[in-house]
Amino acid sequence: MFISEYIKNNYSLDSEFIDATFKKATKLTKKVVKSFGARGHIQKLYKIKKIDDTCTCNDFKISIRKQIKRCNINVNNLEARLLNAINSNAYEKLAKIDFQNKNNMLFIGSGGSFAGAKFSSKLINFLYGTNGIALYPRNVYYRNNSNVDLIFLFSYSGTTNDLFTSTNSIENTKKYIITKGKIQKVITKAEVLKNNVISYRTGTNKGKERGFLSFEGALAPASLFLKLYFEKTQKSNAEEFIKNSINYWKTYFSKYFKENKKELNEFLKEESYLNIFTGDFTESAGFDLESKIVESGIYNCIMHEKKNFSHGRFINYEQLSHKKNIYFKQKTTTSYEKELLNYLKNDQNLIIESRYDGILCEYDLLIASQYLIYFISNFLNIDISKPIYSEEAMKIYFYKGDL
């Protein structure tokens, strides 16, 4: 407050100024501490440089400090973090879990972690034929969970209150927490056994991604289950698949955003409404991209399950939509999908097609989702990891009571 007011006062000091500034600073501090704790909410940081070697305190040159784009840092570190995750002892713990002869399993996540929960539920169902259900925490709260055999909680920090609140009443069911959090901290918060905390935090991978959006948090848990898929199906190396997928989509979108600037300027106009088409083995990517677009605040979007779209959702599409579509698809095109794509052909379409079908497609497109939002961020020259939100909104963000 002192620095800010000093600049506004044209670098002039007197006792009246100091008294007035102190009162403003005290008032603001009380407000901030009461609501959030000791956090700074200054809009811009400044570097003050002396013009001469001797500072006269009368003449300064002010320049805005370079803003760090957290989205860029998180995506650029993504490959290393994923490889560290699947090579950590978290995978050894996951591989020891007995998934055989289990009828019902819950995979629970919120925000960016839901995509990992969705992918893992589909993968376990594919491998073992079990009824794996991906749910948000509050949906668990209102179910009859008496016949649930295993519960997997997906939380980047490992201390997400909603996950524990929604499952505390489910007794005699083994729960696992998949996280990057410190094991001891998670144990204290969640009151689970140490062996039930599957943490992919390693000595070389201590750093956590910063920002409002989750990249590693969405992909690392999915990568652990992907490795399980490769081990059980005796396919090629999971690590090579991850590297190949990252390299493919990074190259693909880099080229796409360079060669289609005119179309993208129209497609990514401010206040656009985007349609996301998903289904079959593209759901994880669909949920992830919808979450990132909405949470970044750059656009509004509507998700359509491909076949459910034909049951009347086209009316809204034709009357109110901007007809801008992001369409996820497998390598194989079904007969219905051909009809749907033909219906959409004259509109603005960004079709993201995997080179794979099935579970491999599901994971591959989840990688694609991370790079699509990353290149959108760079194209718009904004950092989507730092959205603007109100103080009132943070009251529900930090809510820790009964669901």
pLDDT in tens, 114-124: 999 999 999 99
The phi, psi pair for 197, rounded to 5°, reads -100, 110
> Measured between alpha carbons, how far is 216 from 243 in angstroms, rounded to an integer?
14
Q: Are 372 and 253 in contact (CB under 8 A)?
A: yes
Rounded to 10 degrees, the C-alpha dihedral 305/309/310/316 comes to 180
Is the pTM higher than 0.75? The answer reads yes
Q: What is the pLDDT of residue 275?
A: 97
Average pLDDT over residues 120-145: 94
Average pLDDT over residues 94-121: 94
Helix (H, G, I), strand (E, B) or coil at 265: helix
pLDDT band at 206 (very low <50, low <70, confident <90, very high): low
Give tens-digit pLDDT for 287-336. 999 999 999 999 999 999 999 999 999 999 999 889 999 999 999 999 99
Q: What is the pLDDT of residue 222?
A: 97
Helix (H, G, I), strand (E, B) or coil at 305: strand
Domains of the chain: 2-64 (no CATH), 70-380 (3.40.50.10490)
The helix-helix angle for 113-128 and 283-296 (nearest 10°) equals 170
Strand 197-199 versus strand 104-109 pairing type: unpaired
How would DSSP label each residue in 206-242? -----SSS-SHHHHHHHHHHHHHHHHHHT-S-HHHHH
Using alpha carbons, select from 294, 282, 261, 270 the residue that is nearest to residue 373: 294
Q: Are 130 and 99 in contact (CB under 8 A)?
A: yes
> Measured between alpha carbons, how far is 177 from 174 in angstroms, rounded to an integer?
10
Q: What is the DSSP letter of 52?
A: S
> Measured between alpha carbons, how far is 317 from 292 in angstroms, rounded to an integer?
22
Q: Hey, what are 153's tokens?
A: 């909680």
